[in-house]
Structure 1
Amino acid sequence: MKTAVIYWSGTGNTEAMANAVAEGSGVTAVQVSSFEGDVSEFDALALGCPAMGAEELEDTEFEPFFSGIEGKISGKKIALFGSYDWGDGEWMRLWAERVKSAGAEIVNGEGLIANNTPDDEAIAKCRELGKKLV
């Protein structure tokens, strides 16, 4: 199964989560700005983005990327993850709804979130998420 772990991180928190998901799935995590593949060629995607602003996806790199692939993810296995500083995870619930509406299968329900720096438990959950994805 061809799998990619693609993320955006401003503080390193979501990057730490991405690296743990990648470790669990046996692939290398790639920053969204460095991703050069075609998502149509992948069976499974792990997508990571923290909550920004009013609980939204990061809007200069990740949101444009996700909007661009939204029409290509139908039928794919998707794992969502990201960190947040405040709020209740609304950005993840909204993102999960977009993924479901696009016809993809979310392997981790409503997504995996960690408050600020992911602790050991959150990192372990990320590794498990990577294993579940593949």
Structure 2
Amino acid sequence: MNMLIVYWSGTGNTETMANLIKEGAAAAGAAVTLKEVSAANMSDVEKADVAAFGCPAMGDEILEEDEFEPFMKSVMGTLKGKKVGLFGSYDWGDGEWMRQWSKDVKAAGANLLNDGLIVNLEPVGDDINKCKEFGKMLAQM
């Protein structure tokens, strides 16, 4: 199974999550490609059996607006029927950005794992295991 993980990270927290998710997915047998959003394109998403997207909550609990949000808008049409996972870190708030993002991805027809994975700041302790388990579950979708 071929998995793509695309992420944007400002402080490194979401990048750490992406690497932990990759570790969990690879342990479950997936062939995983990890890309920063600036290096990813629609073709990458189309070729993947499973796609995971990671972005932290920004400002008023929204996706990063310069790179990540435009990328997501550009690939929404390719998500119908695709197995998808969403993840990201946050500093404050209650996860509104993830709820809205999950709703948008479901509306695009994706088969979404749970309603995404969020971690407060840097993944430590049990959050490390949650990220790895999320990767395993994505690989087994």
Name the TM-score, length of structure 2 as normaliser. Answer: 0.90
Question: Do the aligned residues in 1 keep the contact of 2:3 with 2:33 (CA within 8 Å)?
Answer: no
Q: Is 1:121–2:130 an aligned residue pair?
A: no
Unaligned 5+ runs, structure 1: none
Q: Is 1:50–2:56 an aligned residue pair?
A: yes
The separation in 2 between residues aligned to 1:20 and 1:54, in whole angstroms, is 26
Q: What's the offset of the Cα at 1:37?
A: 6.0
Q: What's the offset of the Cα at 1:100?
A: 0.4
Question: Do the aligned residues in 1 keep the contact of 2:24 with 2:131 (CA within 8 Å)?
Answer: yes
Q: What's the offset of the Cα at 1:41?
A: 1.3
Q: Which 4+ stretches in 1 moved above 3 angstroms?
A: none
For 1:72, give the aligned amino acid: T
Question: Do the aligned residues in 1 keep the contact of 2:51 with 2:82 (CA within 8 Å)?
Answer: yes
Name the TM-score, length of structure 1 as normaliser. Answer: 0.95
The separation in 2 between residues aligned to 1:70 and 1:28, in whole angstroms, is 19
The separation in 2 between residues aligned to 1:115 and 1:51, in whole angstroms, is 10
Question: Do the aligned residues in 2 keep the contact of 1:19 with 1:28 (CA within 8 Å)?
Answer: no
For 1:94, give the aligned amino acid: Q
The DSSP-based 3-state class of the residue aligned with 2:66 is coil
Counting only pairs closer than 5 Å after superposition, residues 88-99 of structure 1 correspond to structure 2 as 88-99=94-105
Amino-acid identity (%) = 54
Q: Is 1:105–2:74 an aligned residue pair?
A: no
Question: Do the aligned residues in 1 keep the contact of 2:42 with 2:74 (CA within 8 Å)?
Answer: no
Unaligned 5+ runs, structure 2: 27-31
The separation in 2 between residues aligned to 1:77 and 1:86, in whole angstroms, is 29
